[in-house]
A and B are shown apart, each in its own frame.
Chain A
Amino acid sequence: MALAGRTAALWARLRSPRLPPWLLSACERRYSSRGEEKLDMSTYPVESIRNFSIIAHVDHGKSTLADRLLEITGTISKTDRNKQVLDKLQVERERGITVKAQSASLFYNHEGTNYLLNLIDTPGHVDFSYEVSRSLSACQGVILVVDANEGIQAQTVANFYLAFEAQLSVIPVINKIDLKNADPERVEKQIEKLFDIPTNECIRISAKLGTNVEKVLQKVIEKIPPPQCNIADPLKALVFDSTFDHYRGVVANVALFGGEIAKGNKIMSAHTKKRYEVNEVGILTPNEQPTHKLYAGQVGYLIAGMKEVTEAQIGDTLFLYKQPVEPLPGFKSAKPMVFAGMYPVDQTEYNNLKSALERLTLNDSSVTVHRDSSLALGAGWRLGFLGLLHMEVFNQRLEQEYNMSVILTAPTVPYKAVLSSAKLIKEYGKDEITIINPAQFPDKFLVSEYLEPTVLGTIVTPHEYIGKIIALCQDRRAVQKDMLYIDENRVMLKYLFPLNEIVVDFYDALKSLSSGYASFDYEDAGYQAADLIKMDILLNGNPVEELATIVHNDKAYATGKLLCECLKESIPRQLFEIAIQAAVGKKIIARETLKAYRKNVVAKCYGGDITRRMKLLKRQAESKRLMRKIGNVEVPRDAFIRVLKRETD
Chain B
Amino acid sequence: WPYCRKRCSYCNFNTYVVPAVDEAAVRACLVREARALLRLSQVQSITSVFFGGGTPSLASPRTIAAVLEAVAEAAGLPAGAEVTLEANPSSTDTTRLAGFKAAGVNRLSIGVQSLDDAELRLLGREHTAAEAQGAVEAARGLFPGRTSIDLLFGLPGQSRDAWAQRLEAALRLCDDHISLYQLTLERGTALAAQVRGGTLPLPPQDLLADMYQTARTLLVAAGFRHYEVSNFARKDALSSHNLSYWRADQYIGVGPGAHGRFVPRGEGSCRREARVQTLEPVAWMREVQSQGHGTRSRVVLSPLEQVEELLTLGLRTDEGVTHERWGHFSPQLSLQAVFGAPGEAQALQEQGWLLLDSGGLRCTWAGLAVLDSLLPDLLCQLQR
Chain A positions within 8 Å of B, measured between CB atoms, are 573-576, 595, 597-611, 613-614, 617-618, 620-621, 624-625
Contact = CB atoms under 8 A, between A and B. Distances in A.
Contact of B184 (A602, A607, A625): A602
Nearest to A595: B206
B257 to A, nearest CB: 9
A123 B313 CA distance: 64
Interface in B185-220: 205-206, 208-209, 212
A621 B375 CA distance: 8
Which range contains the number of B residues in contact with the other chain?
Answer: 35 or more
A574 B181 CA distance: 23
B379 A607 contact: no
A575 B379 CA distance: 17
A631 to B, nearest CB: 13
Given A599-B205, A621-B380, A574 B373 contact: yes
B259 A618 contact: no
Contacts of B368: 601
Contact of A575 (B274, B309, B373): B373
A607 B374 CA distance: 21
B51 interface: no
Given A598-B206, A620-B376, 10 more contacts: A597-B205, A599-B205, A599-B370, A600-B372, A603-B181, A603-B183, A605-B313, A609-B259, A611-B276, A624-B376
Contacts of A617: 308, 312, 372, 375-376, 379
B358 interface: no
Interface of B is mostly: helix
Contact of B230 (A576, A603, A624): A603
Contacts of A608: 259
Interface in B250-271: 251, 253, 259-261
A320 to B, nearest CB: 71
B245 interface: yes
B95 interface: no
B253 A621 contact: no
10 tightest CB-CB pairs across the interface, nearest first?
A598-B209, A599-B209, A620-B376, A621-B379, A621-B376, A603-B181, A601-B371, A603-B182, A600-B372, A599-B369
B100 interface: no
Contacts of B209: 598-599
Contacts of B308: 614, 617-618
Contacts of A595: 205-206
B353 A575 contact: yes
A490 to B, nearest CB: 41
Contact of B369 (A598, A604, A624): A598
A600 B371 contact: yes
B305 interface: yes
B345 to A, nearest CB: 13
B162 interface: no
B351 A606 contact: no
Interface string B49-60: 000000000000
Contacts of A600: 369-373
B242 interface: yes
Contacts of B313: 605, 610
10 contacts: A573-B205, A601-B372, A602-B184, A602-B229, A606-B245, A607-B245, A610-B261, A610-B309, A617-B308, A618-B308
Nearest to A618: B379
A595 B207 CA distance: 13
B316 interface: yes
A599 B212 contact: yes
A606 B13 CA distance: 13
B263 to A, nearest CB: 16
Contacts of A620: 375-376
B205 A598 contact: yes
A613 B313 CA distance: 10
B192 to A, nearest CB: 15
Contact of A603 (B184, B242, B246, B276): B184
A575 B351 CA distance: 9
